[in-house]
Copies of this chain bind each other. A is one copy, B any other.
Amino acid sequence: MVYRSTERVRARLDASRRRIVAAALDVMAEHGYAGCTVASVAGRAALATGTVYRHFPTKADLFAEVFRAASQREVDAVTRAAALETSVADRVTAVVETFCGRALQSPRLAYALLAEPVDPAVDAERLVFRRAYARVLAGHVAEGVARGELPPQDPELAATALVGALAEAMVGPLSAGVAGPGTIPGLTTFLHRALGVAP
């Protein structure tokens, strides 16, 4: 054996893999999941179709990773925004504004991540995404209850319902084009009240 994989090669492989994921994300942000054929993703990454299969066993595996990465970015943004505030009310406001703001900024991507028909294996990843949001929110709710800012309640359930309300309120605007100006403040008030934030 005269050939053994080298740091240099491994680095290039990693770079290819990352390029594939990034390309898939780009294509998805432009044409939605429906526009993501393996060929188009490979083309965007300047690689041959077959090369994609050196990095991912199936298309579903590739997109599971794409969804994971994109979702993580979103969850991180929301987490960071919430961390800048101290009261639960302000944190919830920050979550709503960040979530909705980012979604409306890249509507196609948001629609793909939230609601577009995708294949079941990828859909499973979506649940993870939503639960990640719910986890972040549940933490704040639990803290709010502990601090006495919120009445006693099941933080998990409340967080799940919050995520659902947020997502639902975004689906219309995302497919329709734009959100009315009252949507974000209205939603914020609604969610504050739902959690029992003192007025």
Contact = CB atoms under 8 A, between A and B. Distances in A.
Copies of the chain in the assembly: 2
Contact of A117 (B119, B127, B160, B186): B119
Interface string A160-189: 111111111101100100000011001101
Interface stretch (A40-48, A63-71, A74-82, A151-159): A151-159
25 contacts: A34-B120, A117-B118, A117-B120, A117-B123, A127-B172, A131-B172, A151-B193, A154-B182, A157-B169, A158-B190, A160-B168, A160-B172, A161-B165, A161-B168, A161-B169, A161-B187, A161-B191, A163-B168, A164-B164, A164-B167, A164-B169, A168-B168, A190-B194, A191-B194, A193-B193
